[in-house]
Amino acid sequence: MTEQHSRNSQYGVVSRRSLLQSTAALLSLPLITNSTVAVAGEKLAGSGEVVIYSYGGSFTDGVRRHVYAPFTKATGIKVVDVTGDAAESQIKAMHQAGRVDWDVALVTAPAYPEMDEVGTFEPIDYSLWDDEALNGVSESDRLKDAVVAIRNGRLLVYDERAFPKGGPKNWADFWNVKEFPGPRGLDGSLGYANMMFALMADGVAHKDLWPLTDDKVDRALKKLEEIKPHITKWWMAGGEPIQLLINREYAMTSAYDGRALVALQQGAPLRMVWDGATIGLNYWTVIKGGPNTANAQKFIAFVNRAEIAAGFTQGGGYPGPNPNQLKYVPANLAPLISINPENAAKTVKPDMAWALAKHPDGKTNFDHVQERWLAWRAQ
């Protein structure tokens, strides 16, 4: 696991590798009917091009088919895509050099506040958005100069073969080894999510999980001591837990929702449990000083239209924030994604303001929590 991947994992954002591997199996899903193309209207019509950074591989292949091609057809604006492992360092380098070559980029939630503070991004032009997008994407996901692009979850997944009469329904059941016996897995690299799971198993309500103060960390680590003997392997890479479930080396585990979704689409006998899933975010941004800012704003408006948002979910493997897209997502996919209202109501979002604030030891609160986690794991 690279340093960048490890740091991103602390915040629950999706890494490039996780996106690529989760996307590949979804590309076989049918293309949506892009009626939106016919009604994009003069507001989004244009010419020229827009340069968009994304993660490459199967992720970008899927988004090209489901988003970029319809955007060009509807607006007359050509998409030029660039790919790479991490946009943030490259955007900073472009600004320092005084030459910005990109227009739109995906930026991780932990990187966004610092970049925003120094004026890296253009304000989003919400006047270009249609009503279905404005009503669908909540205000908390529509920031001044960023919009949630990807909403991913870490959740409990179990092997239905291990529990033919019904499996665990929440994290308290994960800790209940008497009624739900079998080998378990948790992420060995991620501190805060495991602590959240432990606190929920110990009876803490979702609304009381944040902030993750030292007393709550103490309580979580004490609860984790109970389950530690039943963790047969602490997984480290995103693909591990699902494969270990399929191999029957786990009966249940925490896992990325995108990985579980792909396995289910391929017929794996797994069940996703949304109660207590932790949510991570990646953002769309329009880069200040880019060569095609007006076209970039039109792209951001277009990708958040409900039908195109459904295409992004199918092409990219993880959903954007507009639940109106559920009208256009294939029926077998809609119940499995985080923005389905039934699932969304059971999830826990990170408190990014607290996470990125300074702890009394001078580190960010998240870095402090991660150090506590690593020290506990080393015991």
Tens digits of pLDDT across the chain (379 residues): 223 333 344 455 555 555 545 554 454 444 544 455 555 557 899 999 999 998 887 778 889 999 999 999 999 999 999 987 779 999 999 999 999 999 999 998 888 988 999 999 999 999 999 999 999 999 989 999 999 999 889 999 999 999 999 999 999 999 999 999 999 999 998 899 999 999 999 999 999 999 999 999 999 999 999 999 999 999 998 889 999 999 999 999 999 998 888 888 889 999 999 999 999 889 999 999 999 999 999 999 999 999 999 999 888 878 989 999 999 999 988 999 999 999 999 999 889 889 989 999 999 998 999 999 999 999 9
Give CA–CA dist 45/103, Å, rounded.
Answer: 17
Give CA–CA dist 225/373, Å, rounded.
Answer: 12
Angle (nearest 5°) at CA 131 between 125 and 137 = 70
Beta bridge partners of 234: 186
Compute the radius of gyration of the chain from its Cα atoms: 21
Q: What is the pLDDT of residue 2?
A: 28
CB 102 within 8 A of CB 53: yes
- Token pair 């739109």 is at which residue? 104
CB 146 within 8 A of CB 46: no
335 upstream amide cis, omega within 30 of 0: no
Q: What is the pLDDT of residue 26?
A: 55
Instruction: State the sign of the Cα–Cα–Cα–Cα dihedral 57, 59, 60, 66.
Output: positive
List Cα–Cα distances, 136 to 141, 260, 307, 309, 327, in angstroms. 10, 26, 12, 11, 12
- Token pair 């992720």 is at which residue? 59
Kind and range of the H or E element at 94?
A: helix 87-97
Give CA–CA dist 277/343, Å, rounded.
Answer: 9
Phi, psi dihedral angles at 271 (to 5 degrees)? -130, 130
Give CA–CA dist 206/347, Å, rounded.
Answer: 8
Q: What is the 3-state secondary structure (H, E, C) of 112-131?
A: HHHHHHCCCECCCCHHHCCH
Kind and range of the H or E element at 152?
A: strand 147-159
Torsion of CA 184, 185, 188, 193, to 10 degrees: -100
Give CA–CA dist 240/56, Å, rounded.
Answer: 22
Give CA–CA dist 272/211, Å, rounded.
Answer: 26
The DSSP bridge pattern shows strands 147-159 and 270-286 to be: antiparallel
Q: What is the pLDDT of residue 261?
A: 85
